[in-house]
Amino acid sequence: MRRRAILGYGAPGVGAVALMLFVGWWQVDGPGGPEPIGQRPVALTAMDFRLTDHEGNAVGPETLIGRPTMAFFGFTYCPDVCPTTLSDISGWLDDLGDEADEMNVVFITVDPERDTVETMAEYVGYFHPAIRGWTGPEEQIARVADGFHATYERVPTESGDYTMNHSASVFLFAASGRFVTMIDYHEPREFAVPKIRRALEEETEGAT
Q: Render pLDDT for 8-27 as a digit per residue (tens, 0 to 9).
A: 434 444 444 444 444 443 43
How large is the average pLDDT for residues 179-208? 84
Looking at residue 174, what is its pLDDT?
Answer: 97
pTM over 0.85: no
Question: 186: annotated binding-site residue?
Answer: no
CA dist., res. 120 & res. 126, Å (int): 10
Average pLDDT, integer, range 90-103? 95
Alpha-helix residue ranges (DSSP H) falling in the chain: 12-28, 81-96, 117-124, 138-148, 189-201
State yes or no: pLDDT of 78 exceeds 90. yes
Report pLDDT for 2: 36
Region 28-51 average pLDDT: 71
Q: How confident is the model at residue 203 (pLDDT cuts 50, 70, 90)?
A: low
Q: What is the mean pLDDT of the chain?
A: 85
Q: Give the list of residues 6+ apart from residue 66 with CB closer than 8 angstroms, or none.
A: 175, 204
The domains found in the chain, sorted by start residue, are 1-34 (no CATH), 44-204 (3.40.30.10)
Is 78 known as a binding-site position?
yes
Q: Does the annotation flag 166 for ligand binding?
A: yes
Residue 189's pLDDT is 94
Q: Is the pLDDT of residue 7 over 70?
A: no
